[in-house]
Amino acid sequence: MTSIALGMPGIRQSGSPASAFTWFDVATDPAGWETLASRTVPGMFHRQPLLKAHAYGNGRPVGIVLQREGGPPVALGAVLRETPRRSLQLLSFPALAATADPELACRLVDWLRMEGIAEVRIGSFTSGAEGYRRPPAATIQERLEFVWDLGGGTEQRFRALGSGHRRNLRKLLQRDLAIRKIGSWPAERMAWLHVAWARRRGQELPLAQLLQLYRYYRTLDRTLTRSGIGHLYGLYDRAGTLLSHAYMLECDGMAFYMIGASSPAGYRLNASLRLFWELGELYVRRGFGVLHFGGVPADAISKNHDEYGLFRFKIGFGIEPVSRISLSIKNEE
């Protein structure tokens, strides 16, 4: 196993017999890391491409390996930042059922404190700190994640839809619309639809924000699309007009919705409903078991919340949301 000290100055090699954790230099041995991360449950957000996509600015992907007696090692992918304070961000955390160690979050934070990490964030994409004992003084954030079970048949999934979604989908299925994978100029298309989305809300994005937005989408394309994990799908009308798009992550038999938007015409048509229905059918044919719609803050259930509309859209697929817990910890100096 590669020690992080080989390629990351400022962090010493660790992992004595008294500690179950060791650093892994992801940049030096990316293939070895991918093999380890593929065994973590769930593992998508521990993979190197996802870490690179979130390591914008001064961040860099790192790995932590948990060695377990009587069980396979668990890979924890993270993003390390040296400034302004040394901090570590995990995008996700292994499910408690996979580790059977309720103290894991506390032990990890204690170990990172000894390693000189001043701030720790445990994220909750697909799985978070739910069920684990929480480190002292941890700040808790709860969100609701929507996991669409693609088991059963098409008719069963249709009956499970909310009444509004069923009514609208019947009308949409009568239209001559088609879903296609977008292979050219993905960053530009995503930026264009984001601008259209902002204008629909009465917002005009300044040039500096537009450039930042485009760079973000270009980063997704370079790190995720080119690695084969990220795929951009669009819904088109008969004239070839792009109505709605969704950037999907596909890994380990699971699809995860990362980002998307609709044009003004697509919004009026409710094209995103047809897009996700078609994506569900596509993933069933490909043998995927679930489609993750991502999540919303837990208080988005309130009608006064900015993301209440997203909450209503996602729950309209007949999905029972799952509570996910993220933690932020500031270690004492």
Q: Model confidence over 231-281: pLDDT tens digits?
A: 999 999 999 999 999 999 999 889 999 999 898 899 999 999 999 999 999
Spatial distance between the Cα atoms of 270 and 260, rounded to a whole number of angstroms: 13
Sheet holding 254-262, edge to edge: 21-24, 59-68, 71-81, 87-90, 119-122, 322-330, 139-149, 290-297, 254-262, 242-251, 230-236, 178-181
| CB neighbour burial string for 188-199, b if at least 16 within 10 angstroms, e if fewer | ebbbbbbbbbbe
Answer yes or no: are the C-beta atoms of 66 and 73 closer than 8 Å: yes
Whether the bond between 49 and the residue before it is cis, its omega within 30 degrees of 0, is no
pLDDT at 190: 84
Q: What angle do CA 63, 66, 72 make, to 5 degrees?
A: 115
Element (DSSP H or E) covering residue 261: strand 254-262
Structure tokens at 307: 């993301």
Dihedral (CA of 299, 304, 310, 313) sign: positive
Answer yes or no: are the C-beta atoms of 324 and 127 closer than 8 Å: yes
Q: Model confidence over 181-220: pLDDT tens digits?
A: 998 888 888 888 888 777 777 788 888 888 888 888 899 9
Structure tokens at 77: 């992918």
Where the chain has pLDDT below 70, the residues are 1-19, 332-333
With 0-12 CB in 10 A as exposed, 13-18 as middle and 19+ as buried, what is 285? exposed
pLDDT at 35: 92
126: Cα separation from own chain's centroid: 7
pLDDT at 7: 42
pLDDT at 333: 56
228 conformational bin, left if phi > 0, alpha if psi -120 to 50, beta if neither: left
